[in-house]
Amino acid sequence: MVRTWTVRGGQHGEREEQALDEGVVIAGWEEVGDLSGCASIAAVGGDVLARAYPGELPGRVDSWKHQLWRFITMETGDLVVMPRKFLGVVAIGQLSGGYEYRREAAPGFRHTRKVEWVRSQVERTAIGGDLRDSIGAFLTVSELSRRDAAHRC
C-alpha cells in the first residue's frame, strides 16, 4: 500500500532547492549521525538522539525520534510532499531509494532519501482543504493519511 508523507525543506526553506536539484528529500537534525544501523525506534531515540541532544526536553526528543523513524522507514514507492516555505506551492515526488547518510554533506543536509520529483509547482489551492491543513502541520516528517491521501495527491 502506497503511503504519503510530508517532508519539510527546513525551518526557513533552506533545503528545498537542493532537494529539488538533487532529487532527494532531506531531513535536518544536524547533530545526529548515521541512522542506518538503527533497527528500531528505540535505537533512534535512546541511543542516537539522547546523545546528540542531552539537554532537550523528553517530549521533544520523543517527537524527533518518531519523525526520524518515519524518515528512515518510509517505503520506496511512497509519495512525498514538500511544502515550499515562501511559495504557495508544494513539490510532489515518489521515493525511489532508501535512507542514505551523506557524511560529506553540510550539517543539516546529511539525512536523505532519493525522490523522483513528479511535480514541483503544485498550487496549494489545488489541494483539498483537509490535506492542505495536514501539510501545514509543524512536524518535519509526518504521514498524510486522511481520506485516501495517496490517491488524492
pTM for this prediction: 0.85
CATH code given to domain 4-152: 3.10.590
Listed in order, strand segments (DSSP E) in 13-110 are 24-27, 79-83, 89-101
Residue 113: count of CB within 10 angstroms of its CB: 25
> How far is it, in rounded angstroms, from Cα 11 to Cα 3?
24
pLDDT in tens, the chain (153 residues): 899 999 999 989 899 999 999 999 999 998 899 999 999 998 887 667 878 888 888 888 899 999 999 999 999 999 999 998 888 888 999 999 999 999 999 999 999 999 999 988 776 666 655 555 556 567 889 888 755 554 545
pLDDT tens for each residue of 45-59: 766 787 888 888 888
At residue 52, the pLDDT reads: 87
Q: Where are the domains of the chain?
A: 4-152
